[in-house]
């Protein structure tokens, strides 16, 4: 499955490291990644790919929530389908 | 790959402006469950619903997690029960409502609609039995919703049925403290693919099973209009169309996914903007953003006309099949802006009735004094039905006479049903009009003016 990962929250050291390390452990491949900081606010958007048979999206979301809680950021993982449906004709 | 802006916009719509899927509703045909023995018919109905909808809730929850968009309700609509129960040797249809309630609880849906009768021209014995069973059925079930169609543009208005519904609404209110009336809609021009409650039923023109979806998203439309404070009417229409397109695409996607995963046909997306009582999820707030001082004031109807039409135009291109009620809902208790407008005295029943002439659906979730005469309620239904019949549109009445309550009292219905101030009704006596009974002839379809 292709999904979009978004991470938002107050910026601090180690967010990208924590998120990408956990994704690697979960066998989630990062295809495309962008990151910006506006004021103190950190925003990371990544397109990623994983085998949903081996790792159902619900279990990945649960794992990433733990990382998000530790890092005090919000991490969302959503099927790319919702963004394509809304913005593409 | 979508742009970052579009990704963040979608997330913002969901998290900040309450974009959600109001309901995924499975329509189920029960016609072949009919049996002379009511017990056998009820068992068949229960089995049919449970076997058809067993996976509905888990599949919808899976889609919810995968897409990251809330699906607020999972619901079922069934064939109007008067058509199924008519074959059974009983006059008390409460057992059918009980079977529907058990099945709904077994599969975990929030509501089940279809304890209904189609009496727009005349009432069969089964229609009478169903209507007479309503007070007991609605008092003894949790999630069963009911509707009665009492008129249509083709058939006219069944004024005898209208008069009876006035009596029944009073009786249901007295038996249930008013709450039972929140689960009952009286329609003119009812449609068989409406996914919204309380008026959903699975029409006889439908197949065995299908998935219909109702979207929400008043907050998204309001947010879009906030960004164009100086737009002309044409500019506002364009802005609403674009927002409605995006909202509706969510409905199309969720409906298609649900239908595919459940192995049933996808029916329609209902384009209605469905508010909730939460702040920022209000149709009234959209109208006020457009420049109406307070909803109910002059200018409300024209603003609503623009909103209703633009929502349809934006939504039509966004999905493969449009149906249901498709417009802007204006339920009082489920819309924070409407509640405020009523409380401040600007919005009254007369203006609400005018608003229903140009949007979906009718006088919805309105609390009225518990001592309102049955004939007055019937006259309110007849007035709404006349608007629907003459304008070839669906109209409905869902009023709640609250026993012991006076004008201005605030009544809490709980959950999505919200809360509402009790509204004043005209005290003039409509009894002589309603007691005439019979059928109001269908209107002429040419010479429209």
B1 touches chain A (CB under 8 A): yes
Among the partner residues B11, B62, B249, nearest to A85 by beta-carbon distance: B249
The predicted structure's pLDDT at residue B285 = 95
The predicted structure's pLDDT at residue B3 = 79
The predicted structure's pLDDT at residue A3 = 96
By C-alpha distance, the chain B residue nearest A33 is: B4
Among the partner residues A4, A47, A85, nearest to B252 by beta-carbon distance: A85
State the residue for tokens 């249930």: B176
List chain A residues with CB under 8 Å of B249. Answer: 85-86
List chain B residues with CB under 8 Å of A83. Answer: 2, 6-7, 10
Answer yes or no: are the C-beta atoms of B422 and B190 closer than 8 Å.
no
Among the partner residues B7, B11, B65, nearest to A58 by beta-carbon distance: B65
CA distance readout (Å), B28 to B149, B161, B190: 19, 26, 17
Answer yes or no: are the C-beta atoms of B439 and B449 closer than 8 Å.
no
Question: Which among B156, B158, B90, B154 has a CA at the least distance from the CA of B119?
Answer: B158
Q: How long, in residues, is chain A?
A: 89
Q: How would CATH label the architecture of B213-434?
A: Alpha-Beta Barrel (3.20)
User: In order of start, what are the domains of chain A with their CATH numbers?
Assistant: 2-87 (3.30.70.260)
Q: In chain B, which segments carry CATH 3.20.70.20? A: 24-188, 213-434
Over chain A, what is the mean pLDDT? 94
Quick check: A4 and B4 CB within 8 A? no
The predicted structure's pLDDT at residue B18 = 85
Give the model confidence (pLDDT) of A17-59 as tens digits.
999 999 999 999 999 999 999 888 999 999 999 999 999 999 9
Task: Give the distance from residue B9's alpha carbon to the nearest chain A alpha carbon, in angstroms.
Answer: 9
What is chain B's pLDDT, residue by residue, as a tens digit (449 residues)?
Answer: 457 889 999 999 998 888 899 999 999 999 999 999 999 999 999 999 999 999 999 999 999 999 999 999 999 999 999 999 999 999 999 999 999 999 999 999 999 999 999 999 999 999 999 999 999 999 999 999 999 999 999 999 999 999 999 999 999 999 999 999 999 999 999 999 999 999 999 999 999 999 999 998 899 999 999 999 999 999 999 999 999 999 999 999 999 999 999 999 999 999 888 888 888 889 999 999 999 999 999 999 999 999 999 999 999 999 999 998 888 888 999 999 999 999 999 999 999 999 999 987 899 999 999 999 999 999 999 999 999 999 999 999 999 999 999 999 999 988 778 898 999 999 999 999 999 999 999 999 887 76
Give residue ranges of A with CB < 8 Å to any B CB.
Answer: 4, 6, 32, 34, 36, 43, 45, 47, 57-58, 61, 76-88
Task: Give the distance from residue A35's alpha carbon to the nearest chain B alpha carbon, in angstroms.
Answer: 10
Quick check: A79 and B11 CB within 8 A? no
Q: Helix crossing, B300-316 with B283-290: angle to 10°?
A: 110
Spatial distance between the Cα atoms of B115 and B101, rounded to a whole number of angstroms: 10
Answer yes or no: are the C-beta atoms of B325 and B273 closer than 8 Å.
no
Question: Which among B397, B401, B300 has a CA at the least distance from the CA of B341?
Answer: B300
The predicted structure's pLDDT at residue A40 = 87
Quick check: A87 and B253 CB within 8 A? no
Among the partner residues B11, B65, B250, nearest to A61 by beta-carbon distance: B65
The encoded tokens of residue B213 equal 């979806």
Task: Give the distance from residue A40's alpha carbon to the nearest chain B alpha carbon, in angstroms.
Answer: 17
Task: Give the distance from residue A5's alpha carbon to the nearest chain B alpha carbon, in angstroms.
Answer: 10
Q: How many CA atoms lie within 13 A of B329 on its CB side?
A: 36
Among the partner residues A45, A58, A61, nearest to B7 by beta-carbon distance: A45
3-class SS letters over B42-98:
HHHHHHHHHHHHCCHHHHHHHHHHHHCCCEEEEEEEECCHHHHHCCCCCCCCHHHHH
CA distance readout (Å), B103 to B36, B77, B109, B367: 21, 12, 9, 30
The predicted structure's pLDDT at residue B1 = 46
Answer yes or no: are the C-beta atoms of B321 and B265 closer than 8 Å.
no
Spatial distance between the Cα atoms of A14 and A29, rounded to a whole number of angstroms: 19
List chain A residues with CB under 8 Å of B2. Answer: 4, 80, 83-84, 87-88
Spatial distance between the Cα atoms of A84 and B82, rounded to a whole number of angstroms: 44
B252 touches chain A (CB under 8 A): yes
Answer yes or no: are the C-beta atoms of B362 and B397 closer than 8 Å.
yes
List chain B residues with CB under 8 Å of A80. Answer: 2
Longest Cα–Cα distance of chain A, Å, equals: 40
How many CB atoms sit inside 10 A of residue B331's CB?
23
DSSP line for A60-81: HHHHHHHHHHHHTEEEEEEEHH
Question: Which among B23, B25, B45, B20 has a CA at the least distance from the CA of B33?
Answer: B45
The encoded tokens of residue B263 equal 């192995």
**CATH dotted code for B24-188:** 3.20.70.20
DSSP line for B319-331: SS-EESS-SB---
Q: How many CA atoms lie within 13 A of B83 on its CB side?
A: 18
Question: Which of A9, A79, A86, A88 should be substituted to probe chain B, the one whose Cβ sees the most B Cβ atoms within 10 Å?
Answer: A86
Phi, psi of B324, deg, nearest 5: 65, -135
Size of interface A-B (CB pairs under 8 A): 59
Answer yes or no: are the C-beta atoms of B376 and B162 closer than 8 Å.
no
Answer yes or no: are the C-beta atoms of B369 and B405 closer than 8 Å.
yes
Q: How many CA atoms lie within 13 A of B311 on its CB side?
A: 31
Task: Give the distance from residue A13's alpha carbon to the nearest chain B alpha carbon, in angstroms.
Answer: 23
Task: Give the distance from residue B242's alpha carbon to the nearest chain A alpha carbon, in angstroms.
Answer: 10
The encoded tokens of residue A57 equal 């999206």
State the residue for tokens 């968009």: B69
The predicted structure's pLDDT at residue B35 = 98
By C-alpha distance, the chain A residue nearest B19 is: A86
Spatial distance between the Cα atoms of B159 and B234, rounded to a whole number of angstroms: 41
Where are the alpha helices (H) located in A1-89, listed in sequence order? 15-25, 57-71, 80-87
List chain A residues with CB under 8 Å of B224. Answer: none
Task: Give the distance from residue B335's alpha carbon to the nearest chain A alpha carbon, in angstroms.
Answer: 26
Question: Which of A85, A88, A89 should be substituted to probe chain B, the one whose Cβ sees the most B Cβ atoms within 10 Å?
Answer: A85
The encoded tokens of residue B244 equal 């409605």
Quick check: A4 and B62 CB within 8 A? no
CA distance readout (Å), A81 to B66, B73, B253, B254: 9, 21, 8, 10
Answer yes or no: are the C-beta atoms of B434 and B163 closer than 8 Å.
yes
The encoded tokens of residue B173 equal 């209110």
């Amino acid at each position: 499955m292709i999904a979009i990962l978004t991470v938002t929250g107050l910026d601090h050291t180690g967010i990208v490291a924590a998120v990408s390390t956990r994704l690697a452990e979960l066998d989630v491949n990062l295809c495309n990644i962008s990151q910006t900081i506006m004021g103190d606010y950190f925003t990371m958007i990544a397109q990623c790919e994983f085998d949903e048979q081996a790792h159902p999206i619900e279990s990945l979301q649960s794992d990433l929530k733990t990382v998000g809680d530790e890092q005090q950021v919000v991490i969302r993982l959503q099927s790319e389908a919702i963004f394509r449906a809304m913005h593409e004709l | 790959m979508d742009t970052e802006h579009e990704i963040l916009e979608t997330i913002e719509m969901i998290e900040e402006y309450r974009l959600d899927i109001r309901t995924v509703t499975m329509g189920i045909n029960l016609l072949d469950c009919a049996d002379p023995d009511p017990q056998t018919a009820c068992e068949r109905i229960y089995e049919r619903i449970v076997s058809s909808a067993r996976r509905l809730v888990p599949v919808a929850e899976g889609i919810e997690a995968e897409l990251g968009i809330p699906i607020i309700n999972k619901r079922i609509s069934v064939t109007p029960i008067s058509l199924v129960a008519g074959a059974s040797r009983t006059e008390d249809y409460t057992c059918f409502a009980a079977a529907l309630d058990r099945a709904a609880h077994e599969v975990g849906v929030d509501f089940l609609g279809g304890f209904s009768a189609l009496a727009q021209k005349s009432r069969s014995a089964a229609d009478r039995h169903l209507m007479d069973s309503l007070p007991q059925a609605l008092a003894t079930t949790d999630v069963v919703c009911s509707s009665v169609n009492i008129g249509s543009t083709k058939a006219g208005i069944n004024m005898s049925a209208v008069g009876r519904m006035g009596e029944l609404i009073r009786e249901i209110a007295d038996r249930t403290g008013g709450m039972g009336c929140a689960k009952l809609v009286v329609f003119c021009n009812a449609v068989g693919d409406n996914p919204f409650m309380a008026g959903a039923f699975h029409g006889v023109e439908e197949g065995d099973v299908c998935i219909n979806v109702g979207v929400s998203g008043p907050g998204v439309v309001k947010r879009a209009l906030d960004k164009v404070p100086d737009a002309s009417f044409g500019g506002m229409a364009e802005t609403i169309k674009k927002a409605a397109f995006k909202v509706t695409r969510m409905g199309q996607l969720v409906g298609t996914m649900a239908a595919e995963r459940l192995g049933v046909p996808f029916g329609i997306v209902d384009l209605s903007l469905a508010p909730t009582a939460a702040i920022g999820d209000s149709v009234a707030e959209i109208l006020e953003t457009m420049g109406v001082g307070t909803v109910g004031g002059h200018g409300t109807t024209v603003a609503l006309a623009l909103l209703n039409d633009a929502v349809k135009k934006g939504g039509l291109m966004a999905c493969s099949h449009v149906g249901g009620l498709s417009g802007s809902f204006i339920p009082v208790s489920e819309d924070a802006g409407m509640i405020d407008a009523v409380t401040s005295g600007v919005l009254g029943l007369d203006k609400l009735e005018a608003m229903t002439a140009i949007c979906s659906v009718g006088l919805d979730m309105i609390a009225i004094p518990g001592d309102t005469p049955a004939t007055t309620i019937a006259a309110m239904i007849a007035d709404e039905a006349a608007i629907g019949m003459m304008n070839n549109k669906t109209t409905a009445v869902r009023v709640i006479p609250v026993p012991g309550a006076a004008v201005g009292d605030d009544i809490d219905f709980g959950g999505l049903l919200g809360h509402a101030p009790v509204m004043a009704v005209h005290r003039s006596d409509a009894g002589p009009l309603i007691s005439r009974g019979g059928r109001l002839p269908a209107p002429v379809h040419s010479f429209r003016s």
